[in-house]
Amino acid sequence: MKGLTQKQQEILDFIDQFMRREGMAPTVYEIADYFDIKSATAFAHLRALQRKGYVTRSSKARSLTLVRADHPKHMSLTLSIPLLGRISAGMPLLAEEHIENTIHFDPTMLPKGAGGHPLFALTVFGDSMRDQGILDGDTVIAKQVPTANIGDLVVALVDNETTVKSLYFRDDMAELRPANPDYESQFYPLDRVSIQGVVIALHRTL
């Protein structure tokens, strides 16, 4: 069977989880609503999953069926999330040039509201976020969004360098605040800081 794109994997996982929870398959409209995409886009993803042999469906409502013989249980319980390397300004965040590897993550560990946004992973270097439980070498999971709220833990791009810090504002400046007293906050004009995503989970390999 052919490989899946990240979105196709997410939709396949959603279908499996929905069927386990509700005892029936989701409709195209429910899939579109969960991922905040158009129903035509959801339908196109389902057609792709059919072509690749992961699902079957008919014209009847809720007729989706997982081809479980080729859909091992462990696949339905994990998300495939791209692990990014160096992020460059001016390039799409999930461009192929940025992706170093893929990690598999339990979707039940994600907070509510994470659906509908592309996810990416990033390895943290250094101990500047130590007091928030993020250690050197840890991998953070972030949802790709261009804005964030005050206090959010963000992946920010500043002068072509990526950093993970808490976001605050002071005197029309963006404050990127560490969680370690050995480090000081960094302040930048707003137009020098590009929010790449908001951190929603931590992945640590022991």
166 as an active site residue: the answer is no
Which of 24, 45, 76 represents a domain boundary (last residue)?
76
Domain count, the chain: 2
Strand partners, 165: 154
The residue count of the chain comes to 206
102 and 34 within one domain = no
Q: HSE of 165 in the Cβ direction (CA atoms, 13 Å)? A: 25
**pLDDT digit string, tens, across residues 146-161:** 899 999 999 999 988 8
On the question of pLDDT at 3 being above 80, the answer is no
Q: Is 140 in the same domain as 172?
A: yes
Structure tokens at 188: 């930048």
60 is catalytic: no
Q: What SS3 state is found at 45? A: helix
What pLDDT is stored for residue 81 in this prediction?
85
Mean per-residue pLDDT of the chain: 83
Structural domain boundaries, residue 99: 79-203
The pLDDT of residue 168: 96
Q: Which of 80, 143, 165, 166 is catalytic?
A: 165
* Confidence grade of residue 75 (pLDDT, cut at 50, 70, 90): very low
Query: Residue 74: which pLDDT band, with cuts at 50, 70 and 90?
Result: very low
Strands (E), 39-179: 55-56, 65-66, 79-84, 99-105, 119-123, 139-143, 153-158, 161-170, 173-177
Q: Mark whether 138 and 195 lie in a shared domain.
A: yes
